[in-house]
Amino acid sequence: QFVRRPLIAGNWKMNMDHMQAIALVQKLAWTLDDAGHDYERVQVSVFPPFTDLRGVQTLVVGDKLSLDYGAQDLSEKDSGAYTGDISGAFLAKLGCTQVLIGHSERREIHGEGDETVNAKINAALRHELAPVLCVGEGLDVRQAGDHVTHTLAQVEAALQGLAAEQLSELVIAYEPVWAIGTGEVAGPEDAQEMARAIRAKLAELYGQELAEATRILYGGSVKSANVASILAGADVDGALVGGASLDAEEFAKIAQFE
């Protein structure tokens, strides 16, 4: 049914210390195993806080878990006098394969603009981390009817100067800000409308091949009860899940959508 391998990604945000992280990953892995989860068919990734990554790596490698994991952010620099920042080189060394970039909470709380997002995508690519680029509009933009223009402009600015050959692992997550952590869910038609528009923009910028290969996720109050209808959209290739990813059983159910 899916032309692209669906991705169910869990953004833990600033939740779970390093002990809780181990318990959550173990429970998630057991629950998915019990359900006979086929990771080849549906990829599952978690995005814990930085301080959890070493423990998650030990568990994933030690127990040969098929889960992927990544960080919620990275520095646009590789090393040096950048107090408090984390290099993509460190993330790659910890076995991260993906990294969230441009989440709306980074954009809003830390003032990250398109230029920073673009620099962070470049940093991720330097370290062979697949960027999961987050885009999406706020409520005012949606109410003004400018959500497609706004979101496509974010995509274009984030990818400025990059070539198609660099973007084979790119994932884009469409997250309408008004639907994040609010219980408000964009309708399946809204998710599909934007995913299709993003794919068309990729085709315009990079050609049909990259556009067809790129996974486009929806994020915003996704739960086991609504995931199947959202993923029914032909251009929606998975979900970025915040709150519901902190509950192993619920997140496993989301990964087992259908």
Report the catalytic residues. Answer: 103, 175
- What is the number of the residue whose Cβ is closest to ligand PEP? 242
CA dihedral 181, 186, 129, 127 (to 10 degrees): -80
Identify which of residues 131 and 206 has a Cβ nearer to ligand PEP in the complex: 131
Backbone CA torsion sign across 76, 77, 82, 83: positive
Tell whether residue 45 is a contact of ligand PEP (CB under 6 A): no
Task: Report, in Å, the least distance between residue 251 CB and ligand PEP.
Answer: 10
Q: Does 11 show up as a binding residue in the annotation?
A: yes
Q: Which amino acid, one-letter code, is at 21? A: A
* Residues 25-28: contacts with CB under 8 Å, at least 24 apart: 25/56, 25/59, 25/60, 25/65, 25/67, 26/59, 27/248, 27/249, 28/67, 28/248, 28/251, 28/252
Q: Does 104 show up as a binding residue in the annotation?
A: no
Q: Are 255 and 42 in contact (CB under 8 A)?
A: yes
Task: Report, in Å, the least distance between residue 244 CB and ligand PEP.
Answer: 6
Cα–chain center distance at 23: 22
Tell whether residue 220 is a contact of ligand PEP (CB under 6 A): yes
Identify which of residues 6 and 220 has a Cβ nearer to ligand PEP in the complex: 220
Strands 68-71 and 238-241: unpaired
Select from 192, 214, 221, 256 the one that contacts ligand PEP (CB under 6 A): 221
Tell whether residue 175 is a contact of ligand PEP (CB under 6 A): yes
Tell whether residue 243 is a contact of ligand PEP (CB under 6 A): yes
- Which of these segments, 36-44, 106-114, 161-169, 175-183, binds ligand PEP (CB under 6 A)? 175-183
Tell whether residue 224 is a contact of ligand PEP (CB under 6 A): no
Select from 60, 129, 230, 240 the one that contacts ligand PEP (CB under 6 A): 240
Q: Does 118 show up as a binding residue in the annotation?
A: no
Tell whether residue 180 is a contact of ligand PEP (CB under 6 A): yes
Residue 235 to residues 69, 88, 150, 176: CA-CA distances in angstroms? 24, 29, 19, 16
Task: Report, in Å, the least distance between residue 176 CB and ligand PEP.
Answer: 10
Size of the site for ligand PEP (CB under 6 A): 13
Q: Are 235 and 216 in contact (CB under 8 A)?
A: yes
Measured between alpha carbons, how far is 230 from 183 in angstroms, rounded to an integer? 14
Q: Does 77 show up as a binding residue in the annotation?
A: no
The interface with ligand PEP within residues 7-26 (CB under 6 A) comprises 11
Measured between alpha carbons, how far is 2 from 257 in angstroms, rounded to an integer? 13
Q: Residues annotated as binding site for substrate?
A: 11-13, 181, 221, 242-243
Q: Residues annotated as binding site?
A: 11-13, 181, 221, 242-243
Residues that bind ligand PEP (CB under 6 A): 11, 175, 180-181, 219-222, 240-244
